[in-house]
Amino acid sequence: MAKATYKESGVDLAVYRQSMARLPKLLHRTYSPRVIPNDGGFAGLFQLDFASPLFARGYQDPVLVSCTDGVGTKLKVATQAGAHRTVGIDLVAMSVNDAICCGAEPLFFLDYVAMSHDDPELLEQIVEGVSEGCLQADCALLGGETAIMPDLYARGDYDLAGFCVAVAERKKLVDGRSISPDDVLLGLASSGLHSNGFSLARKVVFEIGGLDVDDTVAELGTTAGAALLEPTRIYVRPLRLILSHYKIKKVVHGIAHITGGGLLENLGRILPKGIQAVIERGSWPVPPVFPWIQGLGQVDAEEMDEVFNMGIGLVLIVSTHYADSIRHQLDDSGVESWPIGKIVAGDKKAVWA
């Protein structure tokens, strides 16, 4: 009887080692001076502050902020298109955008890649995207894990999970408690679907619409695959600039990341008791990818609002006196924004005007 081997069961350790050899350069390019080198170790090392007085952050009461998320069924589109670099950016974005909602600075990121079989080139493409996302968020890709599970995933399938650790001074945390009537809602432009609603988007585009990822969509000026795979915008740099600009007065009272559940659900989460957010429909331009999906699938407007971000990836709740100044700063950072509503007294929820 032949002897059983790990390779015959679906895991080739020689190929796995080839995969691992491709990754260190992708991690190293994201390292800041606070990363303590530990290549080959079982954990990543990161010092919270600098020993040198020249670079010291001088935290007085630091609070660690942690987030985790995945990319969801957007990965199915990446697999169909054979394009795997941008979903790594999505993975980072979904966590670091959550962290910045607390006013926190992302410090480092960890990824988890579960694959059907060892594929060094595929893994490198995925982690290249993760590395790029970390550079955009100014955080270190400190480590990760790759799991090969041939009996759990169909050949060629994979899944991603990401984990971010951030830090904020306790007194500078953005927690929504200071939201008050007359505050302004500023909507920040999304880059498209981001990483939400893809079960519906895929059904509409590929099943109902009968399109392929390589089919050109005239009203979008690109292919269906490219439109759906547009990576999630990372808001860390422009938001950190704004939060650090006002050193005395807290002018950003709340931040909501618009993910699954749309504007109403995500904005409603951060409101204190007795406070209502009123959103003015039509106060921002909806990117063409959304009406395209809606028309292709005959999707109800209410369903679109509940599933997708509809062109608003982040909402800032700010003091009315500083709204114009903040918009100018966002514009300087290359992020479009619009006043999309206001805060009033009322039930703790977000509503359409």
**Ranges in the chain annotated CATH 3.90.650.10:** 184-352
Task: Tell me the HSE value of 67 on the side-chain side, using a 13 A CA sphere.
Answer: 25
What mean pLDDT do residues 173-195 have? Answer: 97
End-to-end CA distance of the chain: 74
Residue pLDDT, tens place only, 116-127: 999 999 999 999
The superfamily in CATH containing domain 184-352 is PurM-like C-terminal domain (3.90.650.10)
Write out the chain in H/E/C secondary structure.
Answer: CCCCCCCCCCCCHHHHHHHHHCCHHHHHCCCCCCEECCCCCCCCEECCCCCCCCCCCCCCCEEEEEEEEECCCHHHHHHHHCCCCHHHHHHHHHHHHHHHCCCCEEEEEEEEEEECCCCHHHHHHHHHHHHHHHHHHCCEEEEEEEEECCCCCCCCCEEEEEEEEEEEEHHHCCCCCCCCCCCEEEEEECCCCCCCCHHHHHHHHHHHCCCCCCCEECCCCEEHHHHHCCCCCCCHHHHHHHHHHCCCCCCEEEEEECCCCHHHHHHHHCCCCCEEEEECCCCCCCCCHHHHHHHHHCCCHHHHHHHCCCCEEEEEEECHHHHHHHHHHHHHCCCCEEEEEEEEECCCEEEEC
Say what the pLDDT of residue 50 is.
84
Q: Which of 264, 267, 308, 302 is nearest to 290 (CA)?
A: 308
Cβ partners under 8 Å of residue 225, min gap 6: 77, 80, 81, 83, 212, 213, 214
Cβ proximity of 353 and 281 under 8 Å: yes
What mean pLDDT do residues 205-211 have? Answer: 97
Q: Which amino acid is at 225?
A: G
The mean predicted confidence, pLDDT, of the chain is: 95
Say what the pLDDT of residue 9 is.
81
What mean pLDDT do residues 85-114 have? Answer: 98
Q: Could you tell me the pLDDT band of residue 76, with boundaries at 50, 70 and 90?
A: very high
Say what the pLDDT of residue 143 is.
94
Say what the pLDDT of residue 1 is.
63
- 95 burial class (0-12, 13-18, 19+ CB within 10 angstroms)? buried
The tokens for 338 are 């619009």
Residue pLDDT, tens place only, 211-242: 999 999 999 999 999 999 999 999 999 999 99
- Predicted TM-score (pTM) of this structure: 0.95
Task: Tell me the HSE value of 101 on the side-chain side, using a 13 A CA sphere.
Answer: 23
Q: Which amino acid is at 115?
A: M
Q: Could you tell me the pLDDT band of residue 101, with boundaries at 50, 70 and 90?
A: very high
Rg (CA), the chain: 22
Higher pLDDT, 310 or 22: 310
Q: Which of 61, 85, 81, 57 is nearest to 71 (CA)?
A: 85
Check whether 99 has a pLDDT greater than 90: yes
Check whether 308 has a pLDDT greater than 80: yes
Q: Which of 90-99, 150-159, 196-205 has the lowest mean pLDDT?
A: 150-159
Cβ proximity of 312 and 284 under 8 Å: yes
Question: How long a stretch of residues is the chain?
Answer: 353
Angle, CA of 152, 158 and 162, to the nearest 5°: 110
* C-alpha to C-alpha distance for 228 and 240, rounded to whole angstroms: 28
Cβ proximity of 235 and 103 under 8 Å: no
Q: Could you tell me the pLDDT band of residue 175, with boundaries at 50, 70 and 90?
A: very high
What mean pLDDT do residues 313-324 have? Answer: 97
Check whether 149 has a pLDDT greater than 90: yes
Check whether 2 has a pLDDT greater than 80: no
Q: Which of 91, 263, 342 is nearest to 194 (CA)?
A: 91
Say what the pLDDT of residue 207 is.
97
Say what the pLDDT of residue 241 is.
96
Residue pLDDT, tens place only, 19-58: 888 889 999 999 988 999 898 889 999 999 987 787 888 8
**Ranges in the chain annotated CATH 3.30.1330.10:** 13-172
Residue pLDDT, tens place only, 242-297: 999 987 778 999 999 999 999 999 999 999 999 999 999 999 999 999 999 999 99
Say what the pLDDT of residue 55 is.
80
The superfamily in CATH containing domain 13-172 is PurM-like, N-terminal domain (3.30.1330.10)
What mean pLDDT do residues 326-339 have? Answer: 98
Say what the pLDDT of residue 8 is.
83
